[in-house]
Amino acid sequence: MQLGVCYYPEHWPRERWAQDTRDMLAAGISTVRIGEFAWSRLEPRPGQLDFTWLDDAVEVLASAGLKIVMGTPTATPPKWLVDAHPEILAVDENGDVRGFGSRRHYCFASPVYRELSERIVRLMAERYAGNPAITAWQTDNEYGCHDTILSYSAAARSRFPEWLEARYGTVDALNDAWGTVFWSMEVTAFDQVEAPVGTVTEPHPAIVLDYRRFCSDMVAEYNRLQVNTLRAAGVNVDIVHNFMGLFTEFDHFDVSKDLDIASWDSYPLGFLERGAHDDSTKAFYRQQGHPDFAGFHHDLYRAMCKGRWWVMEQQPGPVNWALSNAAPLDGMVRLWSHEAFAHGAELVSYFRWRQAPFAQEQMHAGLLRPDGSQAAAWQEVIAVRDEINVMADAAPDLAASTQSPVALMFDYTAIWACQIQPHAEHFDALELHLLWYSALRRLGLDVDIVSSQDDLKGYSLIALPCQVIADDALAKRLEEARDSGSRIIIGARSGSRTVDFRVPEQLSPGALTGLTGVTVDRVDGLCPGAEPALTLANGHRGHALRWRDLLDSERQQAKIISVFDDGEPAVTEHHSVTYLTGWLNEDSMVALFEGECRKVGIAVNPMPSGVRLRRRGPLCFAFNYAPEARRLPESLVPSDGYLVGATRLPSAGVSIWRDA
């Protein structure tokens, strides 16, 4: 459990660096990220390199004993570079160039920008690879921020046919897989396939899916280029990238394959606003964030690099980029920090050291205010610093997180598939995953997020909220898990598409038909306001929204557990596999999961509203996101007292204890 901070020495007078360094140490900070965004200072004019200021900054930090994470500056190509190579710019779906003047103004598919990126990364790595103070490198910054994954530049458009040829081999295979005979969309050469934009009505969904896969692959290739360049220049420490929250435009599992550590940037208040919760929920949590947002992403990124993960940027106060930027409630910066550690983080790094009084982020808080004085979060960081020591004493050899009893499957392609053909208004697959996650967490459960490729051994309960594209290999692994004693719960739409975005030959749920014992006859898309009611097995009254599968009663193998009031099946069971025909409301999911857990012997601890529980090794953590005090359930009260906090959790309160 380490603390870090993001620092921009180039923003401040050189005379200030020493004081900053001293203050960081005082705050308990061990690790400083620098360098990203600094290209215009490293190379102010084409070919005119200036590393001396960065040498000095590294020296100041290193000599104080601080560890350095060095960022590559490729997220912000400078003006002279863009003027010399305008073809590197991304192009949006309307054909408009996304120009210089902010950041991330490049197309991942651009061979020119790849060459330029390789050069600056190589030059930095050659200079700093051997420096012992540099304990990690960060590639670029926040891939995908500002919707920058999908690009329709000339570079991307000319690369796409190559990508298709590699995937399909022959044009006939492509035509067959996609069904281009429909509406005379057949092509006779790969380069006849255009990017799926500018069409009269919706483009072919299989092209859209492949274009999204292609763009995701371009990110992975680009990141791999940076990693390989760093390695080739002698970098042998950890390589990390800082992902974001709520970003699903590329497959983070793929990109992570080339990284040692996954990290992410945690801004609970801005994410709350961008999320799908209703206005009253948002008003309730406006200064705290939603209690499951950070947790969900912690668990997601823990799944990326064999359990190694950081928070690279932790919100330390109000930020600037949401529509309405609230000030966090006193105590929330401390709470967010502890929660990351509870979920297994190695490092929590605050963004940023000192608020810049200029440019786009001048209203983004730091640990220091623009004038260099301490900001509101300062005292909370000091508290975290001290409480880390208390925990270290109580659990000296704390391992990374151990396996949870519950696995929740998350798959980027499923998100894309529902965006490509939503079929029912507001069907947002990410929202559905978060809803299932919340329901599990409200029961006090630890959750592991798993990809569709991951090993499923050892989980008592495996949940697939919306695994749209399911193949036989996944079905086989699920069957093996079931046969080893796991219960499986599968949500509507799962298995409804093949890998080529077709309706499966055996109809939905396709490869999952044998497992679930159901066949979907047709779909009843639910418009806003249409919420058919149902009664669950335990008597709970709930309802579906947005989606309802209508099952084929003649092909039914499963047992019907619950029905809607109009008689249509809502919940079925088939050899320990539960299938839900609808998107159920959150309370229904809590009731359902409670029953599932009971069947498989998982202990649940229903939490008071806004409180969350998480275990790491022998340590138990409880967090109160509510703006009012809450009490821990009696069953959880430790007999030998708390390391931190108490049974009563004030607003923004944290309690930590050793599990009996």
Q: Does 471 bind a second copy (CB under 8 A)?
A: no
Q: Does 173 bind a second copy (CB under 8 A)?
A: no
CB 460 within 8 A of CB 486: yes
Whole-angstrom Cα distance, residue 155 to residue 558? Answer: 50
Torsion angle defined by CA atoms of residues 296, 302, 305 and 308, in that order, rounded to the nearest 10 degrees: 150
Going by the DSSP 8-state scheme, the letter that residue 72 receives in this structure is: P
In whole angstroms, how far apart are CA 360 and each of 73, 74, 107, 357? 18, 18, 22, 9
Residue 277 binding target from a second copy, Zn ion, none, CB below 5 to 8 Å by type? none
Chain residues 540-559 in contact with a second copy, contact rule CB under 8 A? 546, 550
Three-class HEC string of 391-407: HHHHCCCCCCCCCCCEE
Query: 571: phi > 0 → left, psi -120 to 50 → alpha, else beta; which?
Result: beta
Residue 184 binding target from Zn ion, a second copy, none, CB below 5 to 8 Å by type? a second copy
Going by the DSSP 8-state scheme, the letter that residue 354 receives in this structure is: B
Q: What are phi and psi of 22, to 5 degrees?
A: -60, -45
Complex with a second copy: residue 362 or 538, whichever CB lies closer:
362
Which position among 313, 431, 568, 596 bears the catalytic label? 313
Q: Which of 167, 502, 575, 615 binds a second copy (CB under 8 A)?
A: 502
Q: Does 206 bind a second copy (CB under 8 A)?
A: yes
Nearest-approach distance from CB 412 to Zn ion, in angstroms: 32
Whole-angstrom Cα distance, residue 654 to residue 651? Answer: 9
CB 451 within 8 A of CB 415: no
Q: Does 631 bind Zn ion (CB under 5 A)?
A: no
Nearest-approach distance from CB 82 to Zn ion, in angstroms: 10
Question: If we measure between CA atoms, which residue out of 657, 619, 653 comes closest to residue 637?
Answer: 657
Residue 52 binding target from Zn ion, a second copy, none, CB below 5 to 8 Å by type? none
Q: Does 290 bind a second copy (CB under 8 A)?
A: no
Q: Which of 11, 231, 575, 658 binds a second copy (CB under 8 A)?
A: 11
Nearest-approach distance from CB 219 to a second copy, in angstroms: 15
Say whether 53 sits in a helix, a strand or coil. helix
Chain residues 29-88 in contact with a second copy, contact rule CB under 8 A? 37-41, 44-45, 73, 76-80, 83
User: Is there a catalytic annotation at residue 313?
Assistant: yes
Chain residues 578-637 in contact with a second copy, contact rule CB under 8 A? none
Chain residues 450-479 in contact with Zn ion, contact rule CB under 5 A? none
Q: Does 423 bind a second copy (CB under 8 A)?
A: yes
Complex with Zn ion: residue 113 or 310, whichever CB lies closer:
113
Q: Which of 21, 216, 226, 287 binds a second copy (CB under 8 A)?
A: 287
Q: What are phi and psi of 401, to 5 degrees?
A: -55, 140
Nearest-approach distance from CB 275 to a second copy, in angstroms: 13
Q: Return the range that interacts with a second copy (CB under 8 A); candidates 280-288, 465-473, 480-488, 573-581.
A: 280-288
Complex with Zn ion: residue 39 or 253, whichever CB lies closer:
39
Residue 62 binding target from a second copy, Zn ion, none, CB below 5 to 8 Å by type? none
Alpha carbon 323 to its chain centroid, in Å, reads 21
Chain residues 297-356 in contact with a second copy, contact rule CB under 8 A? 317-318, 320, 322-327, 355-356
Burial 220-259, CB ≥16 within 10 A → b, else e:
bbbbbbbbebbeebebebbbbbbbbbebbbbbbbbbbebb
Complex with a second copy: residue 130 or 525, whichever CB lies closer:
525
Site string for Zn ion, 67-106 (x = CB under 5 A): ------------------x---------------------
Complex with a second copy: residue 247 or 309, whichever CB lies closer:
247
Q: Which of 51, 53, 100, 642 binds a second copy (CB under 8 A)?
A: 100
What is the CA angle 306-312-318, rounded to 5? 140
Chain residues 235-254 in contact with a second copy, contact rule CB under 8 A? none
Nearest-approach distance from CB 602 to a second copy, in angstroms: 36
Question: If we measure between CA atoms, which residue out of 529, 216, 452, 472 comes closest to residue 462?
Answer: 452
What is the CA angle 498-500-503, rounded to 5? 45
In the bound state, the residue with its beta carbon closest to Zn ion is: 85
Q: Does 514 bind a second copy (CB under 8 A)?
A: no
Compute how many residues bind a second copy; rule: CB under 8 A.
112
Q: Return the range that interacts with a second copy (CB under 8 A); candidates 357-365, 458-466, 575-583, 598-606.
A: 357-365
Complex with a second copy: residue 101 or 539, whichever CB lies closer:
101
User: Is there a catalytic annotation at residue 15?
Assistant: no
Chain residues 174-203 in contact with a second copy, contact rule CB under 8 A? 178-188, 192, 194, 196, 198-203
Query: 607: phi > 0 → left, psi -120 to 50 → alpha, else beta; which?
Result: beta
Question: If we measure between CA atoms, which residue out of 406, 469, 322 comes closest to residue 597?
Answer: 406
Q: Does 167 bind a second copy (CB under 8 A)?
A: no
Q: How many residues does the chain have?
A: 660
Complex with a second copy: residue 5 or 424, whichever CB lies closer:
424
Complex with Zn ion: residue 90 or 489, whichever CB lies closer:
90
In whole angstroms, how far apart are CA 430 and each of 414, 417, 434, 582? 9, 11, 6, 15
Exposed, middle or buried by CB within 10 Å (0-12, 13-18, 19+), for 142?
buried
Nearest-approach distance from CB 562 to a second copy, in angstroms: 19
Complex with Zn ion: residue 111 or 606, whichever CB lies closer:
111
Q: How do strand 559-563 and strand 569-574 relate by DSSP bridges?
A: antiparallel
Which position among 36, 142, 431, 594 bears the catalytic label? 142
Q: Does 421 bind a second copy (CB under 8 A)?
A: yes
- Residues 6+ away with beta carbon under 8 Å from 82: 88, 89, 99, 100, 105
> How many other C-beta atoms are found inside a 10 Å radius of the C-beta of residue 525?
13
What is the binding site for Zn ion (CB under 5 A)?
85, 112
Active site amino acids: 142, 313
